[in-house]
Amino acid sequence: MSNEWNNSVWSCFSPVQACLMSCFCPCMLYGKQAERLDDPGLKEGRNVNGDCCLYLLASCCGLNWVLQMMKRRDMREKFGIDGSVGEDCILSCCCSCCVLVQQEKELDAQMRRFQTVGSAGYQPPPAMAYNPGGGYEPGTAVSPGVGVEAQGQK
């Protein structure tokens, strides 16, 4: 796991779509990120959901940065990124648009990492066989009837 964000909070002008969305419809970008945080393999989350509505309501009271700070902390903890609650608080309060773009880029990077790790699919463990003299040995084939004599059931 990385100990740093994959992108700086100040590289918020790219991609343009995320930049514009964070400025003009931050609640929708926040809702999408909340859904993607639950499932990192999800490329596109729904923009309008419960988190989006909660962010919109919090924005009416001027408290949207609190939700954003908590989501940033959740993201840091989930992906093992260094930082502090104080830093999350200051950035979310003062630079909320840039923080939203940084989080979107981080989710994209984690999604790519998740897909790379998961591309091999399920790999079953090697078979185990009973060795009468020394227990089980991984990677050896199981033969019918081996070990039954030791139990007196043959």
Q: Which whole-number Å values give the CA distances from 55 to 27, 34, 112, 134, in the listed order?
A: 5, 11, 27, 62
- pLDDT reading at 140 higher than 60: no
Q: Do 31 and 80 lie in a common domain?
A: yes
As a whole number of angstroms, the distance between CA 147 and CA 97 comes to 66
Q: Do 62 and 29 lie in a common domain?
A: yes
Stretch 85-94: mean pLDDT, rounded?
Answer: 95
Answer with the residue of higher pLDDT: 39 or 26: 26
Q: Do 87 and 132 lie in a common domain?
A: no
As a whole number of angstroms, the distance between CA 71 and CA 66 comes to 9
* Sign of the dihedral defined by the CA atoms of residues 85, 87, 90, 92, in that order: negative
Q: Do 112 and 135 lie in a common domain?
A: no
Q: Residue 3: what pLDDT?
A: 83
Q: Do 30 and 87 lie in a common domain?
A: yes
Q: Looking at the domain assignment, is residue 89 inside a domain? A: yes
Q: Do 37 and 112 lie in a common domain?
A: yes
Q: Do 25 and 50 lie in a common domain?
A: yes
- pLDDT reading at 154 higher than 50: no
Q: Do 135 and 74 lie in a common domain?
A: no
Residues 27, 109 contacting (CB under 8 angstroms) = no
Q: Do 143 and 88 lie in a common domain?
A: no
Q: Do 100 and 142 lie in a common domain?
A: no
C-beta contacts of 32-39 below 8 A and 24+ residues apart: 32/104, 33/71, 33/100, 33/103, 33/104, 33/107, 34/71, 36/107, 36/111, 37/71, 37/74, 37/75, 37/78, 37/107
As a whole number of angstroms, the distance between CA 81 and CA 144 comes to 51
How many CB atoms within 10 Å of residue 49?
Answer: 16
Stretch 16-35: mean pLDDT, rounded?
Answer: 93
Residue range of the domain that includes 132: 124-154
Q: How many domains does the chain have?
A: 2
Q: Do 109 and 130 lie in a common domain?
A: no
Model confidence at 144, pLDDT cuts 50, 70, 90, reads: low
Q: Looking at the domain assignment, is residue 4 inside a domain? A: no
The mean predicted confidence, pLDDT, of the chain is 81
Answer with the residue of higher pLDDT: 152 or 92: 92
Report residue 82 as tokens. 């260094």
Q: Do 49 and 106 lie in a common domain?
A: yes
- pLDDT reading at 118 higher than 50: yes
